[in-house]
Structure formats: structure tokens, C-alpha cells
């Protein structure tokens, strides 16, 4: 993909799993259904560029929240 981030759905999914963010939690943060998120991650439906950017933004926000919670425990 030229001019954008473009990661495959599988790479997005692997990143989410590596960050230990459940699919339902990311879907909730993005205000989409878990089934749509699954369709993107399993490449049944292409993810629009703006949604890919939102995916990565929300994933990083959730990860930072989790890291902050762990630091305060």
C-alpha cells in the first residue's frame, strides 16, 4: 500500500495478541463489533485505511493503559 501504513490483517492480529489485548476490548474501543474486527484480522474483509490507523491508535492506547495499571500495582 503506497502512502499509508498498511499491515495485513494477520499482522494486526499478531500485534494485538502480542500486546495481550482481547479482541472484544479493542472492538469496543473502536466502536465496532467483534465480528467486524475478526473479519478484518482474518482478511475476509479489507480494512479501510482510516480504520487501520484507528486500530493501531486504539491498540497503543489500550497497551499504555495496561502498562500504567501494572506500574501502579
Q: What is the pLDDT of residues 11-35, one digit of tens each?
A: 999 999 999 999 999 999 999 999 9
Q: Could you give the CA distance from residue 23 to residue 17 in angstroms, rounded to a whole number? A: 9
The average pLDDT across 3-18 equals 83
Identify the pLDDT of residue 65.
Answer: 85
What's the angle, vertex CA 28, arms to CA 6 and CA 44, rounded to 5?
A: 45
Q: Could you give the CA distance from residue 30 to residue 27 in angstroms, rounded to a whole number? A: 5
pTM for the structure as a whole: 0.84
Q: What is the pLDDT of residues 40-71, one digit of tens each?
A: 999 999 999 899 999 999 999 999 988 887 77
Amino acid at each position: 500500500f503506497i502512502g499509508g501504513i498498511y499491515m495485513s490483517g494477520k499482522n494486526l492480529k499478531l500485534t494485538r495478541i502480542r500486546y495481550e489485548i482481547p479482541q472484544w476490548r479493542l472492538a469496543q474501543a473502536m466502536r465496532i463489533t467483534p465480528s467486524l474486527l475478526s473479519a478484518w484480522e482474518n482478511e475476509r474483509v479489507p480494512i479501510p485505511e482510516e480504520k487501520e490507523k484507528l486500530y493501531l491508535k486504539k491498540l497503543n492506547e489500550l497497551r499504555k493503559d495496561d502498562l500504567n495499571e501494572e506500574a501502579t500495582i
